[in-house]
Amino acid sequence: AQSVAQPEDQVNVAEGNPLTVKCTYSVSGNPYLFWYVQYPNRGLQFLLKYITGDNLVKGSYGFEAEFNKSQTSFHLKKPSALVSDSALYFCAVRENAGNMLTFGGGTRLMVKP
Amino acid sequence: KAGVTQTPRYLIKTRGQQVTLSCSPISGHRSVSWYQQTPGQGLQFLFEYFSETQRNKGNFPGRFSGRQFSNSRSEMNVSTLELGDSALYLCASSLEGARGRNIQYFGAGTRLSVL
């Protein structure tokens, strides 16, 4: 069975500083990895995905993620955080065989001015 | 292009009642999935429909059911509501292709409160 872990419930960072939101995964086959963001009273917005190819994936709003197969990690990063980045971030994995996403528990990102 | 539309946005029901939630996917998307989001359990997969057929099902009791129509619109139904069914129900749609490569796009959700 596939699973995703986000070890930090909350990440605090000052505006302008780099941010990292951590994600590790477990799958039996090839992993397809995703990051989504959720703002209050909203659904999930797609940020980026890793399917195959380059280990550094660039996505929306200046976010990027680094895939590390040996560490089974897919950490979300941004070089310079904005206050407007404050939201709930979810990492998700999908295996080859299905079209079902398994989500991590979410990490709340707080960016302070 | 319009996004995924879920109606209604908010619902209040009492225990024992049943409820139907609706989801209109992005135009051209034929796969529709449903997820339940609660503070305690997080985001959990309910089921996925494609071409009016249920293709995957999560670990939820039979009180949770769904269907998809020929225009790809989907409904989910919860019968005999329990307090624990209070949640944000999210619908997602995606194009069909190599399944692992599809991106699921989510609606704003329906917030169900069971009293």
Q: Between chains, do B45 and A102 touch, taking CB under 8 Å as contact?
A: yes
Determine which of B51, B103, B110 to mutate to test the interface with A (most A C-beta atoms within 10 Å): B103
Write out the E strands in B1-115: 5-7, 10-13, 19-24, 31-38, 42-50, 53-57, 64-68, 74-78, 87-94, 105-106, 110-114
pLDDT digits (tens, 9 = 90+) for B19-60: 999 999 999 999 999 999 999 899 999 999 998 999 889 999
Q: How many CB pairs under 8 A join A and B?
A: 62
pLDDT digits (tens, 9 = 90+) for B63-112: 999 999 999 999 999 999 999 999 999 999 998 765 566 889 999 999 99
Q: Between chains, do A43 and B103 touch, taking CB under 8 Å as contact?
A: no
For domain A3-112, is the CATH number 2.60.40.10?
A: yes
Average pLDDT over residues A36-63: 92
The answer to whether the CB of A92 falls within 8 A of the CB of A3 is no
Please, which residues bridge with residue B43 across strands?
Answer: B37
pLDDT digits (tens, 9 = 90+) for A18-35: 999 999 999 888 889 999
Q: Identify which of A92, A79, A3 has the alpha carbon closest to the alpha carbon of residue A45.
A: A92
Average pLDDT over residues A36-43: 91
Give the per-residue pLDDT at B112: 98
The answer to whether the CB of A21 falls within 8 A of the CB of A109 is yes
Q: Does A99 score more than 80 pLDDT?
A: no
**% of chain A at pLDDT higher than 70:** 97
CA-based nearest distance B112→chain A, Å: 13
Q: Where are the domains of chain A?
A: 3-112
Spell out which residues of chain A touch residue B45, defining contact as CB-CB under 8 Å: 100-102
Average pLDDT over residues B3-16: 97
CA-based nearest distance A40→chain B, Å: 10
